[in-house]
Amino acid sequence: MTNTVQNTTKQSNNTILFPNYTPPSRTRVYSNGTVDPIVNSSDIELVKHELLHNTGKYGLRNYCIFTMAINCGLRCGDLVRLKLSDICTNIECNTSVKINYKDIVTIKESKTKKLKVFKLRTGVKTVLTEYITTTFTNFTTLNQYLFPSQKAPLNNEKYLVNSITNEVTYNDKYIEPDSMGLTHMKRNSFGNILNNEVQQRLSGQFSVPINLNTHSGRKTFARHFYDSSVQQDRDSSGSGNPFEQNALTQLMVLLNHSSLTQTLKYLGIQRESVLSAYDMEAL
């Protein structure tokens, strides 16, 4: 059975994010075994709309995570660990809530332990402001997870004791509670939303084959940065190299990759180049 998308947009403050959106009517179904960047803007809007309006009461949170992923290039594991203090200098609450965002955000990547530096684009700040003012009620401290878990994690002990040897070891799955006593949302929880909900409902609606995963947002950021940089080089020089060294080098730094080969593979361009060989006329 082919899944279709219905326009279930509700009239609320969130409608400012999609003032003229209407879902496409395509119903083709694809299957692909890789995690893909979302290349076409229409497909990005489709995922955004599905997250915001059709993933339950936490739709705005899910939409915000995805928006940050495709605009900041963060791993999902680093996104869910963000605190208000990471992105804000202070939040003023008078007659209305005013959020003062940092000009430059610096975090330590949980996977590589490298420093990651990025900026919040204007559109991202708009989404964040909508999410924060809707979600949070207590701004006395910024030591709060931006995406708090809705339930206490099981076995969240900082140290584990071996019942046989009594050896004490550090629990690498331990999540430090914030000032409100809450832990952050788990990466796999958002992965389940993307893969088991959004992917299943939109599998026949994308313009090209796409498999969604927690890494899709970061890959989408990378691909759009690369395509935009290469196009700018072509416009300025009058010629273009599809594997423009300058764009790859910049992207390698942005993603904290260790080599250009790793970045090129990450973009998914190699696979596209191989498949393009089959676009020639039949012999």
Per-residue pLDDT reduced to its tens digit, 134-152: 999 888 899 999 999 987 6
Both tokens assigned to 238? 């009058």
Q: What is the DSSP string of 48-65?
A: HHHHHHHSGGGHHHHHHH
Q: Note the pLDDT of residue 187.
A: 92
**What value, to the nearest 5°, has the Cα angle with vertex 131 and ends 127 and 137?**
150
0.95 exceeded by the pTM?
Answer: no
3: left (phi over 0), alpha (psi -120 to 50) or beta: beta
Task: Report the pLDDT averaged over residues 16-45.
Answer: 61
DSSP string for residues in 170-216: E-TT-----TTS--BPPHHHHHHIIIIIIHHHHTTT-SS-----TTH
Q: pLDDT band at residue 237, thresholds of 50, 70 and 90?
A: low
Computed over every residue of the chain, the mean pLDDT equals: 81
More confident residue, 2 or 42: 42
**Going by C-beta distance under 8 Å and a sequence separation of 6 or more, which residues neighbour residue 155?**
171, 173
Q: What is the pLDDT of residue 261?
A: 83
**Residue 234 banded pLDDT, cuts 50, 70, 90:** low
Q: What is the mean pLDDT of residues 112-123?
A: 94
- Which pLDDT does position 248 carry in this prediction? 86
CB-CB contact of 240 with 230 (8 Å): yes
pLDDT for the residue numbered 10: 41
Most confident of the following: 2-11, 99-108, 202-211: 99-108
pLDDT digits (tens, 9 = 90+) for 56-68: 999 999 999 999 9
What mean pLDDT is predicted for residues 87-114? 92
The pLDDT of residue 1 is 42
pLDDT of residue 5: 40
**Is pLDDT above 70 for 210?**
yes
17-26: average pLDDT: 46
Amino acid, single-letter form, for residue 12: S
Task: Examine the pLDDT at 99 and tell me if it is beyond 90.
Answer: yes
Confidence of residue 156 (pLDDT cuts 50, 70, 90): confident
Q: Where are the beta strands (DSSP E) in the chain?
A: 88-93, 97-101, 105-108, 115-118, 159-161, 168-170
Average pLDDT estimate for 160-189: 83
